[in-house]
Structure 1
Amino acid sequence: MSNPKSEWLSWIKSILFALIISFIIHTFLFSPYIVKGESMSPTLEEGNKLIVNKMKNIKRFDIVVFHAPDSNEVYVKRVIGLPGDTVEMKNDVLYINGVAYKEPYLNKLKKQYSYLNRFTGDFTLKEITGKEKVPDGKVFVLGDNRLRSNDSRRFGFIDEKDIIGSAVFRAWPLQKIGVMH
């Protein structure tokens, strides 16, 4: 017959071990995030639940979660410019370092707003931030819903240290569950 005290101690150790592992994973590796607002529509919608990878190796076009520079909120946006990049929007075409980039994630909204001359207004980094290039330790971010996004066009660059991580997995809604691209 087993000792009840030994059984309880075993359960307490197991629960404490699980809590410590959970804390380590949440603090240093991954954390959940719930999308608020429509700035990343249609890529991400209000209420989508994401898993954010905190191991920062941010690349261009990653969707990142970060501490907003203009409020006490947490925002989710797409990285467009990395340190040293020039960024320009001209006639609804994104230019990074003078090279035109397609933005297929905008196609659905561009069709929806086809009556507009431009989905994204023209700009250069110099006009918005006073800088020719993205400074070291900073990134330039835009929301996919350019018509309704509070992003680097308004608040400037994001400090890399303010980035919590990149969205790697959508856990909700069930019909859109999967790895983020």
Structure 2
Amino acid sequence: MEETQKKKNEVWEWTKALLIAFGLAWFIRYFLFTPIIVDGQSMMPTLEDGDRMIVNKIGYQVGEPDRYDIVVFHAPEKKDYIKRIIGLPGDHVAYKNDQLYINGKEQPEYYLDVYKEGISEGTLTEDFTLEETPAQVSIIPEGYVFVMGDNRRNSKDSRHIGVISTEEIIGYTSVIFWPIQEIGLVE
């Protein structure tokens, strides 16, 4: 009888431990961090198709998006996109001669330097102004951001789909965890 009670207690302890572990995993996955697989070439050379990353879902609950953050958001096509924030609320965004201008001032894009060096003809980013995008605004409205992929020649981004509501942003990402040779932080 005593041995039967011990077995019941042991089963109950294991059941509680498993329930707590699954509960914690569910909480972390749905409220704090989630994995994502990069799908496509729009963020090359920074991110490669198939890279697996961790998305921080709580960062923007306590803070604001920053210029050059890599974010994951719900796109109009019912897909999740991964792009880089270029413009913030109140900014005017323009490109001229492969140079980014925010509010009329040149802005560095160090993460594109290697990519630009590999281009033999033309520019990486075609000229445009914010007014020429689907947003058709002169400045980015409050509660929105302007995003672009690093592979400017092959990226469906705010130049095509307009500004993105910050409410559509799932989170930001900077950690690659797979493939093993790519593990690390990205800028």
Band of TM-score, shorter chain: over 0.9
- Structure-1-length-normalised TM-score: 0.94
Q: 1:68 aligns with which of 57, 63, 75?
A: 75
- Structure-2-length-normalised TM-score: 0.92
User: Which residue matches 1:114?
Assistant: 120
What is the CA–CA distance in structure 2 between the aligned matches of 1:18 and 1:114, rounded to whole Å? 54
What is the CA–CA distance in structure 1 between the aligned matches of 2:108 and 2:174, rounded to whole Å? 21
Stretch of structure 1 that moved more, 124-133 or 140-149: 124-133
SS in 1 for 2:120: coil
Stretch of structure 1 that moved more, 82-91 or 95-104: 95-104
What is the CA–CA distance in structure 1 between the aligned matches of 2:184 and 2:44, rounded to whole Å? 17
Q: 1:3 aligns with which of 2, 6, 9?
A: 6
Contact 2:145 2:165 in 1 (8 A): yes
Deviation >3 Å, runs of 4+: none
Residue 27 of structure 1 and its aligned partner are, at CA, apart by 1.2
SS in 2 for 1:38: coil
SS in 2 for 1:78: strand
User: Which residue matches 2:178?
Assistant: 172
User: Which residue matches 2:169?
Assistant: 163
What is the CA–CA distance in structure 2 between the aligned matches of 1:168 and 1:20, rounded to whole Å? 26
Establish whether residue 41 from structure 1 lines up as the match of residue 44 from structure 2: yes
User: Which consecutive residues of structure 2, in runs of 5 or more, have no partner in the other structure?
Assistant: none
Q: How many residues align?
A: 179
For residues 138-149 of structure 1, the aligned pairs below 5 Å read: 138-149=144-155
Residue 25 of structure 1 and its aligned partner are, at CA, apart by 0.9
Per-residue displacement from partner, 1:45-70 (whole Å, max 9, x unpaired)?
0100000001113211000001112x
SS in 1 for 2:16: helix
Q: 1:53 aligns with which of 53, 56, 80?
A: 56
User: Which residue matches 1:102?
Assistant: 108
User: Which residue matches 1:93?
Assistant: 99
What is the CA–CA distance in structure 1 between the aligned matches of 2:48 and 2:149, rounded to whole Å? 12
What is the CA–CA distance in structure 2 between the aligned matches of 1:180 and 1:92, rounded to whole Å? 23
Residue 178 of structure 1 and its aligned partner are, at CA, apart by 1.2
Residue 168 of structure 1 and its aligned partner are, at CA, apart by 2.7
Residue 78 of structure 1 and its aligned partner are, at CA, apart by 0.2
Residue 108 of structure 1 and its aligned partner are, at CA, apart by 2.3
User: Which residue matches 1:24?
Assistant: 27
Establish whether residue 137 from structure 1 lines up as the match of residue 143 from structure 2: yes
